[in-house]
Every structure is written in structure tokens, then in C-alpha cells.
Amino acid sequence: MKNFVLASTLALSVVCSTQSHAAITCLFKDSATRTTPNRHCDSSCDRHADRQPVESLAVNMGEEWVKKNAFYRNATVRCEGGNGCSYVNLGSTRVFNSGHSMSVNYKTWSIPVSIVIEAEVCVVN
């Protein structure tokens, strides 16, 4: 039994070691941008932010890259639009669907701004 456990542990170590050394090449960055509507309040702004909906921006990888077993990595989100970005609540980015999709939830109560989600498109060599 002791030899079996030792052999199993060694085999598992070899498999894990082989997989962890696979080379990943990131080819380019993919992104999507959405311009938000004007939600600036001129008056009666009490709890204005609380009344705004949570929205999402999602990107699905192109079929040509899915067929090549590419995946998204290091997804980020940012707001572009100067002072309006002070009135934007950005959630965390999420990569899902075997790395073929990414999304972010956000909420805005400002003048129009651009929400940008971006990630590297990578393949395992």
C-alpha cells in the first residue's frame, strides 16, 4: 500500500508539473466599449445614484478564435470620460464560458461616459 501511494503521488506530481509548464502566448487584446446615456441630475438629486439600474457589458470571443482554443486572460475594465467617471460604479470583470466570454456590471449616474472592457486573447502552445 505504501508503494502504491508513493507511485500515485509521483505520477500526480509529473502530470501537474507537465501541465504547469505549458507555454501560453497572448496574441492581442480584445475590447468592447459602451457609451452610457446621460443620467446627470440637475436638481432633486436625492438618492439619484440608488435609483439607477445596474447594467452589464459582455463580450463573446469570435468563433474563429474559439475553434483555435483561445481564451481571455487578464480582463480589465475602465471608465473614460473625465469628471463623469466620478459618478460610475464599476464591478469586477468576470471571465467565463471556458474563457470565451467576459463581462462587467456597472452603474452610472453621470453625464455620458465610455465603459471599456478589455482582455488578452491567448492560446496554449
| Inter-residue contact 49 to 39 (CB < 8 Å) | no
Q: Domains along the chain?
A: 23-124 (2.60.40)
pLDDT tens digits for 62-74? 999 999 999 999 9
d(CA 114, CA 105): 13
Other CB atoms within 10 A of residue 3 CB: 7
- pTM for the model stands at 0.76
d(CA 54, CA 11): 48
Host H or E run for residue 15: helix 2-20
pLDDT tens digits for 8-46? 333 334 333 444 567 999 999 999 999 999 988 877 777
